[in-house]
Amino acid sequence: MIGERLLAAQRARFAAADPLLPMPAGPPDGEPLTAATASGEQVAGVVQTKTHAPGTLDLLWSAQRVWQLFPFPGETGTEGIDALLRAWRHALDAESPGPDSACTVTWPSRDAPAIRAFLRHGLVPISVLAIRTAPPAPEIPPADLTVRLATPEDFEEVLALTKATFDYTALVTSHERPDAVELMTPQLKRNLAARAPIWLAETGGVATAIADCGWVESAPGTWAAELLPLGRWGYVNNVATRPGARGNGIGRALMSTVHRDFAARGAVGTYLYYNPTNPLSSVFWPRQGYRPLWTFWEVQPASALR
Ligand SMILES: CC(C)(COP(=O)(O)OP(=O)(O)OC[C@H]1O[C@@H](n2cnc3c(N)ncnc32)[C@H](O)[C@@H]1OP(=O)(O)O)[C@@H](O)C(=O)NCCC(=O)NCCS
């Protein structure tokens, strides 16, 4: 279905779009989808469906039922993706996705010709994976600020600050989980007990910001290697400053500690996800040296794909 021609074109396209993208692997398993452009060029894709079980962590950022398209648009620019999305819309007519559902596509952020096709079909750029490979910048923290690693005793503060991110994200995305606290509690407890790199900033002894981080190894054959260049990456999972304390340089000082610590321990860089519609993080992260690598396109519910 997805032959050598489409795979070679995909590799050339990704390499031309962004030198930091990993070389695309072969097509994933799933339902094949085929289409042709107006000029007769054959394109193809694979559709995967998954249902997240109640209580699983994926539900913090994902719809429960997900249809994901992996396009292989050849050398067709906007047109091939447009044709595949039309074919996908047609195939979805036979399904009943329900309200807690989404159609998603993960695509290189810098492949500009694809963007128009996604927008035309009702997909929105819900999130980006952004990376930072620059050496850490020195930062003079505000006078009364201390930054330290959190311990299991800090659970309540860590949970409250983590929740602050979800409260804010609920305002700036269409994704709201009233049960966010229940969903994230077990993992937070586990990570604190394992002494994961979860950083707390304190002002006068009061916790004012959190950077919940971890390590991700991008090794050949792993899921991480499909998204990131090979190496050991610092993953910045969740960062928040208490609402009343934002805009005072706390986030900047906290991240300078995080970046210095990851670099000292041999990270090739750091990466994170942010929502382009978040007016705070979409400015904060690029100023911190992050730039988009992958964009996560989504339409909810899945039946709203145009
Ligand atoms: C993103 C966030 C963690 C940044 O933390 P912070 O402590 O406000 O960061 P800083 O003060 O160092 O920098 C914030 C920037 O916004 C500016 N700013 C000014 N007033 C602000 C205000 N009232 N609120 C927020 N930011 C403000 C700051 O001046 C600064 O810009 P600068 O680089 O030009 O100085 C914080 O805004 C936050 O908690 N947002 C809600 C949760 C969230 O979106 N998390 C990120 C998920 S990916």
* Closest alpha carbon to 73 in 111, 110, 109, 102: 111
Q: What is the C-alpha to C-alpha distance for residues 40 and 244, in angstroms, rounded to an integer?
A: 58
Ligand 1 probe mutation, 280, 283, 285, 290, most atoms within 8 A of CB: 280
For residue 67, list its beta bridge partners.
49, 103
The per-residue pLDDT for range 85-138, each reduced to its tens digit, is 999 999 999 999 999 999 999 999 999 999 999 999 999 999 999 999 999 988
The one-letter amino acid code at 237 reads N
The per-residue pLDDT for range 179-196, each reduced to its tens digit, is 888 989 999 999 999 999
CA 169 to ligand 1: nearest atom? 44
* Closest alpha carbon to 100 in 76, 67, 69, 72: 67
Phi-psi region of 267 (alpha: psi -120 to 50; beta: other; left: phi over 0): beta
Q: Return the pLDDT at 156.
A: 97
Q: Residue 235 C-alpha to ligand 1 middle, in angstroms?
A: 19
**84 near 43, Cβ under 8 Å?**
yes
Nearest CA to ligand 1 atom 3: 240
Q: Return the pLDDT at 179.
A: 86
DSSP code of residue 196: -
Q: Return the pLDDT at 293.
A: 98
Q: Return the pLDDT at 147.
A: 96
The per-residue pLDDT for range 120-129, each reduced to its tens digit, is 999 999 999 9
For residue 215, list its beta bridge partners.
234
Beta-sheet pairing, 124-132 with 101-108: unpaired
Residue 139 reports pLDDT greater than 90: no
Q: Residue 281 C-alpha to ligand 1 middle, in angstroms?
A: 7
pTM more than 0.85: yes
The one-letter amino acid code at 136 reads P
Beta-sheet pairing, 269-274 with 231-241: parallel
* Closest alpha carbon to 209 in 271, 284, 266, 262: 284
Beta-sheet pairing, 65-72 with 42-51: antiparallel
Q: What is the C-alpha to C-alpha distance for residues 150 and 50, in angstroms, rounded to an integer?
A: 35
Mutual angle of helices 112-120 and 78-92, in 10-degree steps: 30
Q: Residue 285 C-alpha to ligand 1 middle, in angstroms?
A: 9
* Closest alpha carbon to 151 in 117, 197, 111: 197
Q: Return the pLDDT at 177.
A: 79
Q: Give the pocket of ligand 1 (CB within 6 Å).
A: 165, 168, 209, 239-241, 246-252, 274, 278, 280-281, 284, 287
CA 278 to ligand 1: nearest atom? 44
| Residue 17, burial from CB neighbour count under 10 angstroms (0-12, 13-18, 19+) | middle
Instruction: Round to the nearest angstrom and report the end-to-end CA distance of the chain.
Output: 25
Positive or negative: CA dihedral 96, 99, 101, 107: positive
